[in-house]
Structure 1
Amino acid sequence: RVLAEHDGRPVLVRQDSVLAASFHPELTADGRIHSYFAGMVRDAKITPRNSKR
C-alpha cells in the first residue's frame, strides 16, 4: 500500500508489518512517520512465528 508519493511516485510504502521508504525520515523535523512506525510496533501481535527466542 502506498502511503506517500512525491511527483507521482511512491516514496513510502507498507506491506503487512514491513514499512519501506526511499528517503531517511529520521533526518527530517517531521515526526509523523516515526509516530506511524511506533503505532505499528504498538499494535503488533506476538505470534508463534515471531515469538521464538
Structure 2
Amino acid sequence: MVAVETILLYIILGAIIGIVWSLRKIYVLEARLVALDLKTERLVEHLIKKKK
C-alpha cells in the first residue's frame, strides 16, 4: 500500500511541477510580447517625429 501512495504522490507532484512550468513559460512569453509592443510603439513615435 505504501508503494501505491508513493506513486500517487509522485504523480501529483509531477502534475504540480508541470502546471508551474507551463505558467512560467506563459509569463515569459507575455513579457516578450510586452517588450515587443513597447519597441513597436517607440518605432511608430520615431517615425511620426521623423515625418514632421
TM-score (norm 1): 0.32
Q: More helix by proportion, 1 or 2?
A: 2
State which structure, 1 or 2, has the greater radius of gyration over its C-alpha atoms: 2
Higher relative contact order (CA 8 A, sep 6+): 1
Q: More strand by proportion, 1 or 2?
A: 1
